[in-house]
């Protein structure tokens, strides 16, 4: 059982501003960020539909390379495992076995929500991602040496499935004149991290959120892209341990191996729960938001009570570049690099 499991299995939420009348859907919630988001929403007393391909890891004859799991059996989660933690909270968990690569299964999911919740859906979190296994097997290869299938692995259950789910969610949200669609994206949409297929897909997720926002705004439905920081998911933790064992000279991996400023999956969930309490949520629509920066705005903390800094904050950048400063990171002011300056170092679109 992970730290996330043990520290939150007994927490309950009963605050006056709880989400007890909120209906949410979190895709890809058997592990990682999706699991953390689902748990945080349950703690805020929401009714949460969660999806994954495996209902029960031990009984399902599903492949280990599940669409939102890692590549080893020890890290392959299940809906039952997530539900067990959520059921210890005051919210309601409704597990749904869904392959997000199958449009008909996704449609049936939304039909079920429409029937069971009388057409109400307040939140969709586009989180499910199918590229984990392919990214790990193709790691370090330039795009022309990587398998062509890497593109589909990264962007079918990911970018495309987010579009399909958002389309169906909007059909419920528009008539009720409210709703929030959160598309989990990545700093990889700004700068190279895991290669061409990954970065292009994440950049497209950001654009997807913005384009949807433009069409949804007249109907008071909000669409945003959300960037977590370095999240200590099962995949990232294993990936870093493998790099340490290989004594890599990659400066980025060496920095990550210290686990400095890592976020836990539930941190993103707590921020999304606060977003749902915004009185003027539509004002945030069409924009890219950073989990750590929203957490500072709302006063949200991670599971150990701390608040990781934004990856564009000096509180992160200075200790990341000078590891000897990491023990003193809290003394560094939370000054953020302006977006215009950050964009100077980012990959730009081709110009005529």
* Conformation bin of residue 179: beta by default, left when phi > 0, alpha when psi is -120 to 50: left
d(CA 341, CA 80): 45
Find the angle CA(150)-CA(155)-CA(95) to the nearest 5 degrees: 115
3-state class (DSSP) for residue 26: strand
d(CA 263, CA 247): 24
Contact 76, 64 (CB under 8 A): yes
Looking at 129, 163, 198, 298, which residue is catalytic? Answer: 198
Q: Backbone phi, then psi, for 281, in 5-degree steps?
A: -60, -35
Contact 76, 57 (CB under 8 A): yes
Active site residue 198: yes
H or E element at residue 224: strand 222-227
Contact 28, 124 (CB under 8 A): no
Contact 116, 131 (CB under 8 A): no
Helix pair 265-275, 291-298: axis angle to 10 deg: 60
Residue identified by tokens 């959120």 is: 209
3-state helix, strand, coil in the chain (%, to 5): 50, 10, 40
- Residue 305 in tokens: 């009570």
Alpha carbon of 339 to those of 281, 311, 313, 323: distances in Å?
22, 12, 11, 25
3-state class (DSSP) for residue 216: helix
Helix pair 103-116, 161-176: axis angle to 10 deg: 20
DSSP 189: G
- List the catalytic residues: 198
């Amino acid at each position: 059982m992970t730290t996330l499991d043990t520290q939150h299995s007994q927490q309950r939420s009963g605050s006056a501003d709880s989400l007890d009348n909120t209906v949410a859907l979190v895709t890809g919630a058997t592990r990682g960020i999706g699991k953390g988001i689902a748990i945080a929403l349950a703690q805020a007393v929401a009714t949460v539909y969660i999806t994954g391909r495996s209902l029960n890891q031990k009984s399902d004859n599903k492949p280990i390379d599940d669409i939102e799991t890692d590549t080893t059996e020890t890290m392959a989660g299940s809906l039952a495992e997530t539900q067990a933690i959520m059921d210890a909270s005051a919210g309601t968990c409704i597990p749904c076995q869904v392959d997000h690569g199958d449009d008909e299964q996704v449609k049936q999911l939304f039909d079920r929500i429409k029937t069971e919740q009388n057409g109400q859906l307040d939140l969709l979190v586009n989180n499910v991602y199918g590229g984990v296994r392919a990214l790990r097997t193709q790691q370090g290869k330039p795009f022309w040496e990587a398998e062509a299938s890497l593109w589909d692995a990264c962007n079918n259950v990911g970018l495309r499935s987010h579009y399909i789910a958002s389309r169906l969610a909007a059909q419920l949200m528009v008539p009720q004149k409210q709703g929030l669609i959160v598309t989990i994206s990545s700093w990889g949409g700004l700068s190279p991290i895991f290669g061409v297929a990954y970065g292009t897909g994440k950049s497209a997720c950001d654009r997807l959120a913005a384009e949807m926002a433009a069409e949804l705004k007249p109907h008071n439905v909000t669409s945003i892209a959300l960037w977590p920081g370095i999240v200590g998911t099962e995949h990232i933790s294993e990936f870093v341990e493998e790099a340490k064992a290989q004594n890599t000279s990659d400066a980025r991996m060496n920095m990550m191996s210290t686990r400095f400023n890592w976020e836990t999956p539930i941190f993103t969930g707590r921020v999304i729960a606060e977003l749902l309490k915004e009185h003027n949520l539509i004002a945030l629509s069409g924009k890219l938001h950073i989990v750590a920066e929203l957490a500072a705005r709302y006063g949200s903390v991670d599971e150990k009570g701390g608040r990781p800094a934004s990856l564009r904050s000096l509180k992160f950048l200075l200790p990341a570049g000078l590891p000897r400063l990491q023990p003193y990171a809290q003394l560094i002011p939370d000054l953020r690099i302006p977006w215009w300056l950050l964009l100077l170092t980012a990959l730009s679109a081709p110009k005529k």
